[in-house]
Chains A and B, each alone.
Chain A
Amino acid sequence: MLKQGQSQFEEKWPSMRPSVLKLLRQEPVTRSEWHDLFWAVHSVCLWDDKGPHKVYEALQYDILEFIKHAQTRVLQHHEDSALLKAYIAEWGKFFTQCDYLPKPFMQLETSLAAKTHTPMQKKPQGEESIVRKLMLDSWNHSIFSNIKQRLQDSAMKLVHAERNGEAFDSQLVIGVRESYVNLSSDVEDKLKIYRENFEKAYLEATKDFYKLKAPQYLQANGVQNYMRYADTKLKEEETRAQRYLETSWGCTSVSGLTECCVNVLVTAFKETILQECAQMIRNNETEKLRLMFNLMDRVPDGITPMLHDLEAHVVNQGLADMIAAADIITSDSEKYVEQLLELFNLFVYVLLQDSEKYVEQLLELFNRFSLLVHEAFNDDPRFLTARDKAYKNVVNDTSVFKLEIPIKNKGMGTKTQPESKCPELLANYCDMLLRKTPLSKKLTSEEVEKKLRDVLLVLKYVQNKDVFMRYHKAHLTRRLILDTSADNEKEENMVEWLREVGMPADYVNKLARMFQDIKVSEDLNSEFKDAHRNNNEYIADSINIKILNAGAWARSSDRLSVSLPMELEDYIPQVEDFYRQKHSGRKLQWHHLMSNGIITFNNDIGRFDVEVTTFQMTVLFAWNQRPKDKISYESLKLATELPDAELRRTLWSLVAFPKIKRQVLSCSGEVKAPKDITDGTQFWVNQEFALVKNGKVQKRGKINLIGRLQLSTEKSKEEDNEGIMQLRILRVQASGKKKLNLM
């Protein structure tokens, strides 16, 4: 049995007290003393009814006593910084003890709590222990509340000194902050006092500091250095804030400080900094731009002016470059336009070189701008959009390369809008890559593919995609009819790629349809040859037929009347008979504008194979009966029955085919262009015709005189244009309706 009174407070306290005092003073306590204290608290609280209260009061007395001593020690110092130092030393010790001293008094906590709450109720999480609270509250009342203003001021002075590059013990500032955070008596919002005093003072000190410093620095070092300064300072202040401001969960001190710094360092000088932006973009100073981007990204609406600058730059630079390059490009295009007016399109190489240069120029621009956005703006989506928007302007700009779409004006003199020539040039470039040309032969398959992909990239920015498709289709038609595709697989891939980049589906479908049709036609051709193999050697070997679907290929206006030479006329019924046997209920329509062949041309010099259109053939066959005669234009018109424009264009290609030294035909009079040909102009076969290679006359050889001779007529082009204009009007109306529906 325990003796009565053995565990009474009065008996136990004297043995407990020394340990408590030692703990308060941070003096060493032996293991047994530490254990005994636990035991003593436990027994007093359990066996003495009034024990817990008595312990609490005794403890309070001792703590207050201790604090009183500490207070005198601290307040000895009158000078602020010494006061701060002393305070922090005392506080540091005391704060550590706040964690240790409550431990032995766990039982006290439970007993005291049991008086007020129901025994089973658990202590809510996070609530401070009674002893700890007692310690902190006492400290707050006796010391801190008296001198907190002085402490805070000297802490701010230290931070100021640190900003000026002086080193000091950062623990001094941290200690003050800890005092604020931990000594709050406000249970609801523990950080309230900290926020209203320490945080506010810190933010204000920061603001005042940079309000003074920033303009000075800007003045002395210029904007570009200032940006670097601001950037460094922002980072520095952020790290400093992490150290000196409260960072516990839910505390917004650091972000508040950052915002304050951004305001005073960046927002205040927003205009000045942004003024430099355009210049930097012009000079491609990506590092500085990146810096500016980082700064401005923190400011509301800071990026917007930069986006404008980038856009303006892309447009200006793009156009300037294109204009500079236009010296090369337009000088040739002018020739091209001239030629077009003359119904001939013979400056084939010049034009083709054009489109290649043009596309390369566009791509070079695109890559340059993309690199700028990548290096300076980290591929930020907002800047990518600005780049795209501006690039679109460049691509569709009408000031450098205009394409007038001529349409017959019905009644009212409606003006045609100038359009960018870009889609046409892109289509020409595609043609160069897909056709058998010096360029496509020079490149590997992968290179061709890459270049086609490049075209598709630019094409994405082209507004008038239908114009591109029109030209592309015309080129494709030529390639399929003349069998000049460099690579059939690539041709068909291209159709799919066009679909992928979102070209109008009806156009793409038509292209796909053409490939199908060509295959059907090839099968038919071999059947035709098989059918004639036995009875007629010649026709089986030399006549090919391409029977196509009217819906996918032809336009009625593409059909031109011509009186075929006997040599060709004979085959027509044979083909028609063959086809009638294959398909009843179908009728053939001949498109001699598109047909073509090879003739052998014999003269005194040698023998040459010449690839020609059927029209050229028809003209040349006129001399077969009277090889040495001169034949007038009028007679040729009668003999061939070709329309005037076509006959002129055909004759011109035989007297002035570009890039050959000796022409097939010669003519009388001054004929500089097709329009100079009159009814009386005489034509005769050039007996000296020969191929000239490296200055040497060749006796044998093959030459292609088809060149750029269009497989379509002027009239059908006009129809196409009207179709495109109508399509565009429909589209505008449709989008208008959509808008109305939304409203």
Chain B
Amino acid sequence: MKVKLKSWTAVATWRWVANDDNCGICRMAFDGCCPDCKLPGDDCPLVWGECSHCFHIHCIVKWLNSQQVNQLCPMCRQDWKFKE
């Protein structure tokens, strides 16, 4: 007798990998979503800056739009540039 694998359905869930637990802007957990969204996941993604700080995309965009002159990272005050 030998058992052979014919097919397999592997189930996994995904989570964000961030240096922090919370978004520095809205203070909500990265596992959750920004205050404007209802459900976490693909619809409320995270983004990283070159300074390696990470925020909900909705939060950082809102922040950047509110800045008149220089667009700085709200955490380290360096110029904000999206990673990649």
Contacts and interface: CB of A to CB of B under 8 A. Distances in A.
B38 interface: yes
Interface string A547-576: 111111110000000000001100110010
Contacts of A589: 12-15
Given A597-B5, A600-B3, A609-B6, A547 B12 contact: yes
A479 to B, nearest CB: 14
A241 B8 CA distance: 87
Interface in B7-44: 7-18, 31-33, 38-42
A543 B10 contact: yes
Given A509-B38, A549-B41, A587-B17, A597 B7 contact: yes
Interface residues of A, number: 56
A723 B21 CA distance: 23
B57 to A, nearest CB: 11
A591 B11 contact: yes
Given A542-B5, A601-B1, A585 B48 contact: yes
A348 interface: no
A600 B8 contact: no
A551 B39 CA distance: 7
A541 to B, nearest CB: 8
Interface stretch (A10-18, A65-73, A187-195, A620-628): A620-628
B34 to A, nearest CB: 13
Contacts of A584: 84
B7 A542 contact: yes
A624 B2 contact: yes
Given A509-B39, A550-B31, A568-B8, A586 B3 contact: no
A398 interface: no
B6 A594 contact: no
| Residue among A541, A587, A592 with the highest chain B CB neighbour number at 10 A | A587
A594 B48 CA distance: 32
A566 to B, nearest CB: 10
Contacts of A627: 1-2
Contacts of A60: none
Interface string A589-605: 11110111111111100
A624 B16 CA distance: 38
A438 to B, nearest CB: 24
Contacts of A697: none
Interface in A522-559: 541-554
Contact of A602 (B4, B15, B84): B4
B46 interface: yes
A513 interface: yes
Contact of A551 (B5, B8, B41, B48): B41
A575 B12 CA distance: 10
A703 interface: no
B53 to A, nearest CB: 12
B14 A583 contact: yes
A550 B10 contact: no
Contacts of A572: 10
Contacts of B6: 542, 597-600, 609
B14 A595 contact: no
Contact of B11 (A546, A552, A603): A546
A585 B18 contact: yes
Contacts of A551: 31-33, 39-41
Contacts of B33: 551
A20 to B, nearest CB: 97
Nearest to A568: B8
Nearest to A538: B5
B44 to A, nearest CB: 9
B5 A599 contact: yes
A579 interface: yes
A389 B3 CA distance: 58
Interface in A199-215: none
A501 interface: no
Contact of A544 (B2, B7, B40): B7
A586 B15 CA distance: 5
B22 to A, nearest CB: 15
A692 B1 CA distance: 19
A597 B41 CA distance: 27
Interface in B38-72: 38-42, 46, 48, 54
A311 to B, nearest CB: 41
B13 A554 contact: yes
Nearest to B2: A602
A595 B11 contact: yes
A520 interface: yes
Contacts of B13: 547-550, 553-554, 588-589, 591
A597 B8 contact: yes
A639 to B, nearest CB: 14
B17 A621 contact: no
B27 to A, nearest CB: 18
Contacts of A513: 39
Nearest to A593: B11
A481 interface: yes
Given A544-B8, A595-B8, 7 more contacts: A543-B7, A586-B16, A587-B14, A600-B6, A601-B3, A614-B8, A628-B1
3 closest cross-chain pairs (CB), A and B: A597-B8, A549-B41, A551-B40
29 contacts: A509-B38, A542-B7, A543-B7, A544-B7, A546-B11, A548-B12, A549-B41, A549-B42, A550-B13, A550-B40, A551-B39, A585-B16, A585-B17, A585-B48, A585-B54, A586-B15, A587-B15, A589-B14, A589-B15, A590-B10, A590-B11, A590-B12, A602-B1, A609-B6, A617-B3, A620-B3, A623-B1, A623-B3, A624-B3
